[in-house]
């Protein structure tokens, strides 16, 4: 289980350390940084597939994603006596992301390259990457340590081994340096991070992937675009969770059920609705019904990941469906760790055993409401 998530200098998340529980819900007003938190976590997961540099470019590059405020907010600024001013930085600016859990912790530190004769002076570079034994990063707890192009690994006797080959500054140690003999822990951390699953707004328009019929295979995890919905539902129906799926559908739409038909390998949904003479196909379902089925397929996955992250699952769902959605989330949290970003008070009220963190803004920076310095989980960033 992940116990702490830490983010520094990512958009409005200037310096955030969050405690995570089995079911954590992030709430807050518009613009407080909820979506940024979701994206920061996804960026962290991208490092496990060496995709973080490309993902940052897709978000407008490192300079645009970095915290745009000052390094520190002085008392004079807080009291409104002087405007915010760009002061000389005392530390190098870096976008830092990390987590710690029951066993291992991982952190990365992105910075800009030293300018040179190249067109790629805005490419983010890994300045530091560390994997350690939990609970907190201490020199003696380090297992694998990357500084620039160098990777060092701790052996069983506790002494450092230089890996011997250098790693490109834009490649992640986690994905590109996983040697099962030198450092099996690195491989474990990488595979766990790769298993994290993220679901954001599902498309339900007329051309949405979930409305098309397609060739299906056994689907343990719904695709993030929902294109394999029929195969994913059928996989659940052939698993021990068949009953849970039937209950989830009946709970949301009393008297209804879903059937998945196949012809020549193509999988199609048939939604049997109380009062209709024939079942409806995926193309005919209302947006809300289709969206609910997508969340059911995602949350009832027979092979849950280490961490499941949902961004505003209530979007475009009728309030009547929120109790059923909350029941699905509560049940999923018994099998996997969940982080849910939500702006629906109603959904949050229906969730059981959730720890709720409310985000708010303090001089442009996201903070956790009611969290003082001493309430923060302990966290140390690797130094450059």
Q: How many Cβ atoms are within 10 Å of 273's Cβ, its own excluded?
A: 14
Using CB under 6 A as the binding rule, whether residue 344 contacts ligand ADP is answered as no
Rounded to whole angstroms, how far apart are CA atoms 1 and 341? 18
Q: Does 67 bind ligand ADP (CB under 6 A)?
A: yes
Q: What residue 118 binds from ligand ADP, Mg ion, none (CB within 5 to 8 A, per partner kind)?
A: none
Instruction: Find the helix packing angle between 287-299 and 322-332, rounded to 10°.
Output: 10
Q: How far is the C-alpha of 85 from the C-alpha of 82, rounded, in Å?
A: 8
Q: Is 345 in the site for ligand ADP (CB under 6 A)?
A: no
Candidates 22, 35, 212, 239: give the one binding Mg ion (CB under 5 A). Answer: 35
Q: Report, in Å, the least distance between residue 66 CB and ligand ADP.
A: 6
CB of 299 to ligand ADP, least distance (A): 22
Nearer CB in complex with ligand ADP: 131/365: 365
Write down the least CB distance from residue 84 to ligand ADP, Å: 12
Among residues 124, 110, 126, the alpha carbon closest in space to that of 57 is found at 124
Residue 132 contact, options Mg ion, ligand ADP, none, Cβ 5-8 Å cut-off depending on partner type = none
In sequence order, the 6+-apart residues with CB closer than 8 A to the CB of 285 are: 211, 269, 271, 293
Structural tokens at position 106? 């991982």
Of ligand ADP, Mg ion, none, which one does residue 32 interact with (CB within 5 to 8 Å by kind)? ligand ADP
Full strand arrangement of the beta sheet holding 266-272:
214-215, 266-272, 257-263
Q: Which stretch binds ligand ADP (CB under 6 A): 61-69, 198-206, 250-258, 325-333?
A: 61-69
Give the shortest CB-58-to-Mg ion separation in angstroms: 17
Using CB under 6 A as the binding rule, the residues of this chain from 276 to 305 that contact ligand ADP are none
Distance CA(40)–CA(97), nearest Å, equals 7
C-alpha distance from residue 94 to each of 27, 68, 110, 116 (Å)? 26, 12, 5, 19
- Which of 92, 316 has the CB closer to Mg ion? 316
**Interatomic CA distance for residues 161 and 195, integer angstroms:** 28
Nearer Cβ to ligand ADP (11/197): 11
Site for ligand ADP in 355-384 (CB under 6 A): 364
Q: Name, in order, each residue with C-beta under 8 angstroms of 114's C-beta and a sequence gap of 6 or more.
A: none
- Residues between 17 and 56 that touch ligand ADP (CB under 6 A): 28, 30-36
Nearer residue to ligand ADP within complex by CB, 176 or 360: 360
What is the x/- site pattern for ligand ADP, positions 108-127, by CB under 6 A? Answer: --------------------
Residue 30 Cβ vs Mg ion, minimum distance, rounded to whole Å: 7
Query: What's the closest the beta carbon of residue 71 comes to Mg ion, in angstroms?
Result: 26
- Quote the least distance from Cβ 285 to ligand ADP, whole Å: 28
Q: Which of 68, 82, 215, 369 binds ligand ADP (CB under 6 A)?
A: 68
Q: Is residue 163 at the binding interface for ligand ADP, with CB under 6 A as the rule? A: no
Handedness of CA 321, 213, 49, 126 (dihedral sign): negative
Q: Which is nearer to Mg ion, 13 or 167 (CB)?
A: 13
The one-character DSSP state at 65 is H
d(CA 110, CA 384): 10
CB of residue 13 to Mg ion, shortest distance in Å: 13
Q: Does 262 bind Mg ion (CB under 5 A)?
A: no
DSSP secondary structure string, 136-152?
S--GGGEEEEEETTEEE
313 binds ligand ADP (CB under 6 A): no
358 vs 368: CA distance, rounded Å: 6
Count of residues that bind Mg ion according to CB under 5 A: 2
Paired with 338 in beta bridges are 23, 308
- Which residue, among 351, 235, 353, has the nearest Cα to 300 in the 3D structure? 235
Q: Report whether 260 contacts 288 (CB < 8 A).
A: no
Q: What is the smallest separation between the CB atom of 34 and ligand ADP, expressed in angstroms?
A: 3
Interface with ligand ADP by CB under 6 A: which residues? 11-12, 28, 30-36, 66-69, 364
Interface with Mg ion by CB under 5 A: which residues? 34-35
């Amino acid at each position: 289980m992940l116990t702490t998530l830490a983010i520094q200098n990512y958009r409005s998340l200037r310096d955030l350390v969050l405690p995570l529980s089995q079911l954590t819900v992030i709430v807050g007003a518009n613009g407080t940084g909820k979506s940024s938190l979701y994206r920061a976590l996804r960026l962290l997961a991208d490092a496990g597939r060496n995709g973080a540099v490309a993902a940052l470019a897709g978000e407008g590059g490192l300079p645009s994603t970095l915290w745009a405020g000052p390094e520190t907010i002085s008392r004079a600024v807080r009291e409104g006596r002087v405007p915010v001013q760009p002061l000389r930085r005392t530390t190098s600016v870096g976008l830092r992301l990390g987590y710690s859990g029951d066993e291992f912790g991982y952190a990365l530190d992105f910075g800009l390259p030293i300018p040179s004769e190249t067109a790629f002076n805005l490419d983010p570079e890994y300045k530091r990457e560390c994997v350690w034994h939990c609970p907190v990063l201490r020199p003696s707890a380090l297992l694998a340590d990357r500084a620039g192009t160098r990777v060092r690994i701790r052996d069983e006797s506790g002494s450092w081994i230089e890996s011997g080959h250098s790693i490109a500054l834009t490649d992640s140690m986690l994905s590109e340096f996983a040697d099962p003999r030198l450092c099996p822990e690195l491989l474990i951390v990488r595979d766990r991070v790769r298993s994290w699953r993220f679901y954001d707004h599902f498309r339900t328009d007329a051309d949405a992937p979930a409305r098309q019929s397609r060739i299906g295979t056994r689907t343990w995890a719904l695709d993030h675009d929902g294109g394999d919905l029929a195969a994913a539902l059928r996989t659940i129906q052939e698993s021990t969770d068949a009953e849970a799926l039937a209950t989830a559908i009946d709970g949301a739409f009393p008297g209804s059920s879903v059937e998945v038909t196949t012809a020549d390998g193509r999988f199609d949904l048939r939604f049997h609705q109380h009062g209709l003479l024939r079942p409806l196909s995926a193309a005919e379902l209302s947006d809300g019904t289709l969206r609910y089925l997508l969340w059911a397929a995602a949350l009832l996955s027979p092979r849950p990941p280490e961490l499941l992250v949902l961004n505003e699952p209530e979007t475009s769902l009728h309030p009547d469906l929120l109790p059923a959605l909350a029941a699905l989330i509560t049940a999923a949290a018994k099998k996997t760790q969940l982080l849910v970003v939500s702006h629906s008070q109603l959904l949050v009220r229906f969730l059981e055993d959730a720890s709720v963190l409310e985000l708010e803004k303090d001089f442009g920076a996201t903070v956790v409401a009611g969290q003082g310095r001493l309430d923060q989980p302990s966290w140390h960033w690797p130094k450059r």
